[in-house]
Amino acid sequence: METEDGRIGWGECNPFWPINGETVETCLAVGKHLAKALLGHEVSDMEGAHRIMDRLIHGNSSIKSAFDIALHDLAAQEADQPLWAYLGAKSTRTLTTDYTVSIGSPEKMAVDARTIVQNGFTVIKVKVGGSKEEDVSRIRAIREAIGMAIPLRIDANQGWTPEQAIEILNELAVFNIQHCEEPIPRWQFMEMRRVKEASPIPVMADESCCDHHDAERLIALGACQRFNIKLGKSGGLFKAKKIIALAEQHGMEVQIGGFLESRLAWTAAAHLAQVSDAIRDFDMDTPLMFTADPVIGGITYSAGGLIALPEGVGHGATFDPTYLERAEAVT
């Protein structure tokens, strides 16, 4: 995104079909309409920009997040501030990401967990969401491989019924589990409170919490103790900050996560992670799994999943021009 005085703002999204209902093709198509609607808009008027986008088309949070990130990049540049300061943070802190064990056989997951520990990571996220026998076997195998000291976080990806969730979470309580993301289908959010109250493991809303309106509903229902914020779900930083404010008001904890974005969008997320002490957990390991990195600048990763922010104004990340020359473009 370019301003009249020649400044450039960069944004990115990665549409995750089953969650956002968006594809690369829909993002390019809708993006052209959003771009036309935002021509001439003042970059610092973030609320107005989102009002324009939301009036133009419902949903499409993924492509809206790309515009939001670019707008914030430009607005922070205009204010001569790093993005974290523009977002209201007073200082920065070093972030530490977990690393994910993908769902598979107990034996394979145990081997993967052992490798993650050997690589210095201090928290592991584990994908579950099968039967009680499968998931208990998976977690038990991991604990036998790495011991009990390193915390585990589990993500059921909506894989259980409420009854299964209650039974499985009680079975897993002995394994030092920090929280469980989205144990039941997102459309069963009315059942979340029952699961939360019967579970010894805290429940984190993910797919059922996209924007601040979802967060308000879940708070009113008493449905969960924690929120997982992803820029591609919230429509970007503007609405993500609204979720964080609600979490602060109600004494809830927040995790910063995401989809399959490159380091550029994750850099924006890392700036967001500085704004509140309610943000406790960081699930930001995706770029570590890529075989190519088209980003210049941006966050850097070091041993054990430590994440450092770039210096300078804006979010501090751009794309390699040689990479963009090979990419499909719509102007």
Distance CA 242, CA 233 (A): 13
Let me know if 230 is a catalytic residue: yes
DSSP H or E stretch at residue 203 = strand 203-205
Which residue in the list 68, 181, 182, 285 is annotated as catalytic?
181
Let me know if 181 is a catalytic residue: yes
Distance CA 315, CA 301 (A): 16
Which residue in the list 64, 196, 230, 241 is annotated as catalytic?
230
Nearest to 178 by CA among 248, 117, 98, 103: 98
- Give CA angle at 179 (238, 207), nearest 5°: 45
Which residue in the list 12, 68, 112, 155 is annotated as catalytic?
155
Distance CA 15, CA 150 (A): 32
Nearest to 319 by CA among 258, 236, 261: 261
Which residue in the list 206, 207, 214, 261 is annotated as catalytic?
206
Nearest to 299 by CA among 96, 81, 89, 88: 96
Q: Is 206 within 8 Å of 182 (Cβ atoms)?
A: yes
Nearest to 323 by CA among 292, 298, 300: 292
* Type of residue found at 238: F
Longest dimension (CA), the chain: 61
Distance CA 23, CA 19 (A): 11
End-to-end alpha-carbon separation of the chain, Å? 10
Which residue in the list 12, 64, 78, 127 is annotated as catalytic?
127
Let me know if 214 is a catalytic residue: no
Tokens of 59: 């949903």
Residues with active-site annotation:
127, 155, 181, 206, 230
